[in-house]
Structure 1
Amino acid sequence: MGRALAVVFTTLVLQALWGSVTLSTRSLPKLTFSFYIPAFSSLLGPRTAATKIVDQAEVEGNEYCHSCVKIDNICYNHTYLFELPAPFGGQHPVVKRMGIMNFTNVIYYTFEPKFSDKEYSKVGYISLYYPEFSGVISGGQTFNFGPFDIDHTERKVYLGGSDGIWVVDDINYFPTYFIEKSNLITNVVVKDYVYFTTSDRKGIFKYFAGYYFVHLADKTIHKFVLDGEYNIVYLNDTGLFISFLNKNHRDVQLSTEPWMRGLTVDMKGSVYAWDIYGIYKVIVDKVLSQSTLKRVTGIAPDAMAFDESNNIIYSIKKKLYKLAKVATSKCFAR
């Protein structure tokens, strides 16, 4: 028995040092990735295992799905996954942003650390399928990262914060400087190019090969995303708007609500917004001036993103949930 335990322990240590991880699920082909994880790294200890999602075969046809909710007339199996690990500050933590690296299924999220921490905003990460792989992005200086976006092609994360825009890859999670040194970055969006906003300038800036281009130069932007057609959905003091790539059309106001918690884009390029009353979808009409915002569910997340299968992943406080489409039309409406 003692020899067997020693072998198991040695194997686990080697896996931690060399980082050979095999990902395998029912819905994905078997993939093998290699992560460099330094010994005694920023892993945050054991996590609650993800709850097994109901097999679609159990809810196919006309059977009623008791674990599902209906969103936009589609049933989604609603599953609790695990708690997001981080040295959260306060008794009521809130995750403000979330994104998922498609290739590795690693979730990135912002959080406010403990009050004793010299940094007031950080970005953590955790594997969606292997929650024991988790940590916090940190470097050789004080960083206050908040806004971020993921370049899925290059497998990099662009982070904005109190000292410009920085970049990490999915291997060492150590930030390197990119642009806008000494500027407070309030939003970062990556879609072919890097788009961003700052605290002291109006408009949305696009960076390309050392040059800057500005969009919506007369507007103060609180949040923004780009949909699949490169239309800009943005939030300011007067509400939520969409600015079309075709500049022959005026911006359309989608909502007068200036307190949207967040914006995100699904894998098909559709934009979603959410607030304390639920989740909304931006409907871009063929007649652009008739574009609208449609409420699709009363679920009110703190942060939200889409995985590679276009399932909704969202958080409420530290708890993480998944909404996966199932092959039935009979379920709870919410």
Structure 2
Amino acid sequence: MLLLFLVGLTAVASQEIRPPPVQCPTCIKVDNICHNISHLLQLQASFRTVVVITELGILRSKNILFYAFEPNITDKEYYKVGYVNLDNFNETGVVVGASAVNLITFDIIQSNGTIYYGGGDALYVSDKFNTVHFFGSKADRIRSVVVYKNEVHFVRDGEGKIVKKQGDNFKIYDLYTSVKNFLINKEGNMFFLNNSGLYLNRFETDLTVRLSKNNFFRGLTMDLNENFYAWWIDGIYKVVKGRDFLDAKLVRVADIPNIGAMTFDNGNNFLFTTSKSLFKLTSTNDADVRC
């Protein structure tokens, strides 16, 4: 009896008495983990009365955030790309060209800092991060541009097919139709939105899974681990891999309304805009915090 009593006493003494979880008033749950939400800055640009920011991306070597936006209706350009240094908010401006270029979208090669832009009448490329020059596809309005294996892929407005620029020639992928937006990760998986929904595809093959019938997602992005995300009026969605490629599914991981655009910073934290405000979500990684 004495031995059983001592064993029981030891077990009780070894149990850690934990305080109740602390409520975090500035946290929201993302992928079942509490994340602290903080306001970083107000983006400075010649926005319209209703602020429209459609895309975010970071030149990681310089920690410069780029954002595609719609300028004031009196501006001669109807789309522009602005930038701000996340280490020095005073370093801010707008990407310019020799003439009106109407920059709609962009993609960044992180290895050398080259940025390719889709414009209102052509593809453009930067020699410095704030100046662009003509690159190709003259007279074409570019809706989405992706650099994959150091080759520029894009979608022309009204055509909806993915096109690869090969020197002065172009390869058209007839496999894909009515594409609005797309991404390709290093594994060769393509995440794309078209008129019939949101899809995951093994690029250049017909291996495809439809993730959603919703064709109105506001944008697509990847985190630093090359996981795919999309956002809509009711929050953030993530592509969750299955055992097999065709088992992939789309899961809503955060209930955040009114996201304009989204990306991930150099610490793989969520960055997103609401109107012209830029917010950051940082994981608490703390079991004693609840939201």
Q: Same fold (TM over 0.5)?
A: yes
Partners of 1:330 and 1:224 in 2: how far apart? 39
Deviation at 1:115, TM superposition (A): 1.4
Change (3 A) 1:111 1:81: same
Partners of 1:118 and 1:71 in 2: how far apart? 40
SS in 2 for 1:131: strand
| Identical columns (%) | 33
Deviations 1:160-207 (A, max 9, x none): 111211112445x11111111111111011232211000133421122
Change (3 A) 1:66 1:220: same
Deviation at 1:124, TM superposition (A): 0.5
Equivalent residue for 2:135, pick from 178, 197, 204: 178
Change (3 A) 1:285 1:213: farther
Equivalent residue for 1:212, pick from 147, 170, 173: 170
Change (3 A) 1:218 1:308: closer
Match of 2:219 in 1: 262
Question: Which TM-score applies when normalising by structure 1?
Answer: 0.76
One-letter amino acid of the counterpart of residue 241, structure 1: Y
Deviation at 1:315, TM superposition (A): 0.2
SS in 1 for 2:246: helix
Deviations 1:57-96 (A, max 9, x none): xxxxx76544322211223221001111001112x21211
In the alignment, structure 1 segments of 5+ residues that lack a partner are 1-61
One-letter amino acid of the counterpart of residue 105, structure 1: N
Partners of 2:55 and 2:190 in 1: how far apart? 18
Partners of 2:118 and 2:128 in 1: how far apart? 17
Deviation at 1:245, TM superposition (A): 3.8
SS in 2 for 1:133: strand
Match of 1:37 in 2: none
- Aligned pairs for 1:1-334 within 5 A: 65-90=24-49, 92-170=50-128, 173-192=130-149, 193-245=151-203, 247=205, 250-300=207-257, 301-333=259-291
Match of 2:18 in 1: none
One-letter amino acid of the counterpart of residue 152, structure 2: V
Q: Higher strand share goes to which structure? A: 2
In the alignment, structure 2 segments of 5+ residues that lack a partner are 1-20
SS in 2 for 1:289: helix
Change (3 A) 1:267 1:170: farther
Q: Give the CA RMSD over aligned residues.
A: 2.0
One-letter amino acid of the counterpart of residue 292, structure 1: K
Change (3 A) 1:114 1:202: closer
Match of 2:3 in 1: none
SS in 2 for 1:197: strand
Q: Which has the larger radius of gyration?
A: 2
